[in-house]
Structure 1
Amino acid sequence: MSQAAEKFFQHNSALPTMPEVASRLIRSFDDDNISLAALADLIGKDASLSAKVLRLANSARYSPSHQISTLQDAAAALGMETLRNLSLAACMAGAFPKVKGLDRGVFWRHGVTTAAYARILAKMVKLDAETAYLAGLMLRTGQILMALAESDKVAEVETLAVEPGSRFSLEQHRFDCTHADVTASLARHWHFPAAMVEAFADANTPMEVRPFSLMAAVLHMAEVLADAAQNKDNPTHALQVAVPELIEHLHLDLAFLAAKLEAAGDVASDVEQLLG
């Protein structure tokens, strides 16, 4: 574990608390028998989260045919994966404070976009898509802890990070670690599975790590794609510029990926409801 990353945890007050509902949602990944009704009941234990999920379920992105007024209705309309992913996104966005140096709306729009793109990439390389969504959602959260300690440096990184994927090297130069390293430390403090902790730590330079980590590669590429979406750059061209050796190593079908990204549309169009 990076010692440079651990310095952001020297004050216990800096460590956000993993929301109980989020923890139980994550555990539900391994429960093949969990029902939609049980998931809705779990979300219902948190009034604020329930309100956010209902607002999302009624939003234009999911274009419900009728007004959705209960979590059971939301569960039926959205389905298991979407319900769980939206709830996790709302939980995570609520767990972290607003910080100087990062625009909260822009930050979580990027996080939700990274999560959605990680899910698409995971399906292409035969990884678990829901785990990839959670990891993508978490990937930049370490940067919030960095901003709590050194907001001016983080703001400077964000000003300079105009090339998709450049945040990693800009942070490494200034902090001797990256947001992914700090997220790995946070995931370890939160008792995430060791494989996910490792994937965060390896996401900086996935081609340099042995054994090769598919999840780390997916996370790195998803962040590049989210950067490109934020800049309104061509996403697959951004990948070719940022990580050509990774595309080659994975034999990634860029035309297929482009079609999937196009079909997904604006995956973070409802981020305001997550933050409300």
Structure 2
Amino acid sequence: MMDLQSLLASPVALPSIPRVIALALTELNAPEPDALRVSSLLGMEPVMTARLLMVANSARFQRRRRVGTVSEALAILGLRPVRDMTIEAAMTSAFRKVGSVDMKQFWRYSLDTARLTQLLTRARKVEVSPYTVGLVHALGELVLHRGMPKEMEQLNQRINVFAPQRARAERELLGYSYAQVGAGFARAWQLPEALVETLEHQDAPFEREDYEPMAGILHVASWRCRAHELGYTENKLAVSFPDKTALALGLDVGVVLAHAPVDWASSQEARLFLE
């Protein structure tokens, strides 16, 4: 078995990202980002350019004329949303196929967690996008599968990748879980510290020092979405509900448990992450 530092130092486990995206993220994470440099860098990346223009021209902004350049899109969207979009693009493009993991299911589950995390943080002041946190929270699992494929396949035979108990099983086997791997991965990519801390503590938000509330919200959201993937009955949902965390955060149990099937992401939506 590899310890955490050896795993994170493995070039096999950690994928690289396009140099332009890496430079853009570095600039976006600076105390005072240079908007001109950001727009110049992102303008060299076709996929990001298309995504920024699509969002800037969406009905949400009610523009009378179409936005045609990255710099215009940046002015409309703002630096923080663009940073979140760049993080999402970097992480989703880095993982296309990983061992035997069903990537369509993985992104469908991640989309569900992103939406529920966003829902549960309404009216709360947070440092990082709840949607982005939810979308990338389980990427540590993919790093584990890349770095230790045999060990993860053996673990998969004992417990489903999407089981709510997965993090505990990984801690028992390795001494750490996908949460700490994801945090180390995010730190290596120089992503915002608030995002790193949320990822690091999500599996056991009350068991470590410096409790991060956002990690608790993510913990509850991911539990609900994992339970959905495994088809939990109402009785099993009630029995396994992380009530200690939810109570401490003042989360509405009804909202968490009643997340209706109509809200779940479709396979078609998840497939977009594989194109």
Q: TM-score, normalised by structure 1?
A: 0.72
Query: Partner amino acid for 1:100?
Result: G
- Rounded to whole Å, the distance in 2 between the matches of 1:234 and 1:42 is 48
In the other structure, the counterpart of 2:269 is 270
Q: Who is 2:133 aligned against? A: 135
Q: CA separation of 1:255/1:32 partners in 2, compared to 1, >3 Å: closer, same or farther?
A: farther
* SS at 2:3 equivalent: helix
State the superposition RMSD in angstroms.
4.4
Structure 1 or 2, whichever has the larger Rg, is 2
- Is the CA contact (8 Å cut-off) linking 1:202 and 1:209 kept in structure 2? yes
CA change 1:164–1:13 in 2 (3 A) is closer
Match of 2:151?
A: 153
* Inter-CA distance 90–240: structure 2 relative to 1 (3 Å threshold): farther
Higher helix share: 1
Percent identical residues:
22
* CA distance in 1 between partners of 2:32 and 2:216 (Å): 27
Match of 2:107 in 1: 108
TM-score by length of structure 2 reads 0.72
TM alignment of 1:225-244, pairs within 5 A: 225-233=224-232, 238=237, 241-244=240-243
SS at match of 1:12: coil
The structural deviation recorded for 1:45 is: 3.4
Task: Tell me which residue corresponds to 1:169.
Answer: 168
TM-aligned CA deviation for residue 152 of structure 1: 3.3
How many residues matched?
Answer: 266
Q: Distance between the aligned counterparts of 1:96 and 1:43, measured in 2?
A: 20
Cα distance, 1:173 vs structure 2: 1.6
The answer as to whether partners of 2:27 and 2:34 remain within 8 angstroms in 1 is no
- 1:32 deviation in Å? 11
Shift of 1:191: 1.4
Q: 1:9 to 1:151 in 2, by over 3 A?
A: same
Report the CA distance between 1:255 and its aligned residue.
2.4
Return 5+ residue gaps in structure 1 as ranges: 63-67
Q: Do residues 181 (structure 1) and 176 (structure 2) align? A: no
Whether the 8 Å CA contact 1:158–1:167 is kept in 2: the answer is: no
Map of 1:20-35 to 2, 5 A cutoff? 20-21=20-21, 24=24
